[in-house]
Every structure is written in structure tokens, then in C-alpha cells.
Chain A
């Protein structure tokens, strides 16, 4: 597709279950970000992938959160043993790095997670 694709768009789960969120970046984009956004709030940085470099995981809030990216393609964000405070919109964005993050960030529409 032409843009960043995220799935599912909405996910309702029960407390304690694991969830997996998927992001398909724009083809050729080497940089990929995951953010979390609570209702009406700003963006909370979670993790940053850049090419084959080690990801920047400094934003992951706990060890229940993990993310993977296969090369420069799909990324999955996994939340284990979900808690109610994990409820938020999870946004993925990608860009063409070119040596520094100068390029425009293209965002997906997000995955809204609700933990009951």
C-alpha cells in the first residue's frame, strides 16, 4: 500500500491476556517508530528501529512490552499480561532515514487497545 498500515485498528482484550499489534511501514523506509497515546494526550515514545542498528528501546514502560522488526519491513509490538493502564492508541510511523531523521514521518492510523 501507499501508506503505513496498522492492524488491528481496534482491539478489546481482557486483563492478563497478551496482544500483538502489527505495523507495515512504507516500502524503503528504514526508520520505524512506535508511540503510545492516551486519550487527549501527547505521544509517548516506545521504541525506534533504524535499519540494522540495535533498536532504541528506552521508551518501553516495562518488560511486558517488546517489539521486533524484520529487516526494514513489518514490525510487531507485543504486550504481555495486559493491564488496564495499557489502554491507549498505539501509533506506528516510518521515515526514510538518510543518515539522520530529517525525513517526514508518515504515521499509520493507529491501533486502539482497550483492556477490560
Chain B
């Protein structure tokens, strides 16, 4: 069975600094996708970034980037130049041939 583990229930970062959120997963599949979703207090879930497992290059989206280590089954999210609007719950998600699986989330606080 697929599992996704986010070991940091809560994280905090100073505005303009960099923070890394951790995620590990377990799957027997070789072809799969990984995602980070953000859920701000308004509760609307938003896709932040997506990584295809067959691609070695780490995905980036503006200030958001990932460190994808396929052999270690690790998929961390780095947020650079943190902004107050980055405060949210962040969910790591893995999807393959079966339904998508969510981690339990990391609550990120951004301090001014």
C-alpha cells in the first residue's frame, strides 16, 4: 500500500528566509507522480508543484522548488524568500496507478 509521511506537524520561518518541508513516501511502483498542495486558512486547496518520478530534474515554480531523491523516496519542498501569504497547511501527495495518497500535512507559520 502507498504511504506518505510528513514528519513535521508544524514549522515556522521568518519572512524572506528559506524553509524546507520534508516528505517521504513508500510505493512499489516505478512510475508515479508527487505533488505538494497548499491549504491556506480560507481552506481552498491549491496545487503548488508537481514532480514526475521518471524525471531526474527537480521541479521548480518561482520561489518553490523540490528536492526529489527517488532512491530514498524523499520529496522535500523548499520555499525561498518566504512571504506572509505562504502561511498555510502543506500536504505532500503521491499518485500512481491507484488513488492519490495524502500526507498528514505540515502547518507553516511565517513570522514578520
Residues of A within 8 A of B (CB): 33, 35, 37, 40-43, 45, 48, 56, 89, 91, 93, 100-102, 104-105, 107, 109-110
Residues of B within 8 A of A93 (CB): 45
User: Given A33-B99, A42-B104, A89–B43 Cβ distance below 8 Å?
Assistant: yes
Q: Which of A40, A101, A102 has the most CB of B within 10 A?
A: A101
Residues of A within 8 A of B35 (CB): 104-105
User: Could you write out 14 A-B pairs with CB less than 8 Å apart?
Assistant: A37-B43, A41-B104, A41-B105, A42-B102, A45-B101, A89-B43, A100-B96, A101-B95, A101-B100, A102-B52, A104-B50, A105-B47, A105-B93, A107-B44
Q: Give Cα A91–Cα B52 distance, bound, in whole angstroms.
A: 25
Q: Give Cα A35–Cα B45 distance, bound, in whole angstroms.
A: 12
Q: Give Cα A100–Cα B96 distance, bound, in whole angstroms.
A: 6
Which one of A56, A89, A104 contacts B99 once the chains associate, using CB atoms below 8 Å?
A56
